Every structure is written in C-alpha cells, then in structure tokens.
Amino acid sequence: MGERPLSPGATAWMGALCALMGLAILLVALRIIPTDEAKLHAPHWVVGAAGLVFFLAGLAILTGPPPGTPEAARTTWRTFLLGLGIVGALGAVFNWVAFGPGPRSFGGSVSIPFVSVSGPSSEWSGRIAFGAVAVLIDAFALWVIVRGLRDLLGRGR
C-alpha cells in the first residue's frame, strides 16, 4: 500500500496544531499562562524546551518543501536550523530527565507476548531508560550537524 501525502489543507492544520500546542507550552514556561507550579515537576526551561519541540515541528510542517521536491534541494539553512532546534530541544529534555539533579518518579507498563508488567518503576531504571534514549538523541543531533553542514556547504554532493 503506497503512502499518500496529506493534502495541503490537512498539512496546514497539522502544522498549525503542533505550533499552537508548542506555543501554549512555551507561554506556560515563560509564566505568561499561569499554572500550578507544583504540577510542573520540572524547571521552566525544561518545560520550555518541550514546548519548543512542538512549536518548531509545527513550523517545519507549515514551511516544509512540497511533495516531490528533489532530495538535494531539501536541505536549506531553514530546514537545518529547524531540525537542529527540534532535536536539540528534545535532547535537552531527555538529558535533564536522565542526568539532571533532583528525584524522579517513573511509572508505566511494558507488554510483550504472554507478559505484562505495570506500575511504578524505580528512579534508577527510569533514569537508565531516559539516559539510553538521551545518548541516542545526542548522537542523532551530532549526525544532523555534520550531515546538514556538509550538505549546506556543498561537500555532500
């Protein structure tokens, strides 16, 4: 079954929804939208980084190249900076959860065939899981930088 790209209208709605969600989270982080501080469980900069991921993703969706654009023409300074901003902000959140100061509490469930485990998890198991993903995101960010600069500076062709 082939992939069908979203219609321009659906793409615009998805991009706008992501950007508006991110903007709302950013406004909470900036204390423009008031919230119960006890419910944040993270410093405002971490909340802002999470909002930035959604906001930049929405901008990337709204301003992305149209379907059918050749791969060589897809990498621009705009796409490079948007992608790096998204990956960098996401990495900041995961790195803070894994390696930042203060206690953490984790919960959830894992289901594999014939086994289902749910409930609270230890702080260390959660930090290890987030740490593993943080290292992967950091490696991906490094790849985005190297690949993007190589393509933009003409050495990737």
- In tens digits, what is the pLDDT along the chain, a chain of 157 residues? 557 778 889 999 999 999 999 999 999 999 999 999 888 889 999 999 999 999 999 999 999 877 777 776 777 889 999 999 999 999 999 999 999 999 988 877 766 777 666 666 788 888 999 999 999 999 999 999 999 999 889 864 5
Query: What total of structural domains would you count in the chain?
Result: 2
Q: Are residues 152 and 77 in the same domain?
A: yes
Q: Are residues 84 and 144 in the same domain?
A: yes
Q: Are residues 36 and 110 in the same domain?
A: no
Q: Are residues 139 and 155 in the same domain?
A: yes
Please spell the DSSP secondary structure of the chain, one letter per residue. Answer: ----PPPHHHHHHHHHHHHHHHHHHHHHHTTSS---GGGT-S-HHHHHHHHHHHHHHHHHHHHPPPTT--GGGT--HHHHHHHHHHHHHHHHHHHHHHHSSS---EEEEEEETTEEEEEEE-HHHHHHHHHHHHHHHHHHHHHHHHHHHHHHTTTT-
Global pTM value: 0.84
Q: Are residues 18 and 45 in the same domain?
A: yes
Q: Are residues 53 and 89 in the same domain?
A: no
Q: Are residues 32 and 9 in the same domain?
A: yes
Q: Are residues 94 and 154 in the same domain?
A: yes
Q: Are residues 39 and 88 in the same domain?
A: no
Q: Are residues 58 and 75 in the same domain?
A: no
**Domain range holding 17?**
1-64
Domain end residue (candidates: 15, 30, 64): 64
Cα atoms in the 13 Å half-sphere on the side-chain side of 34:
0
Question: Quick one: angle between helices 44-63 and 8-29, nearest 10?
Answer: 160
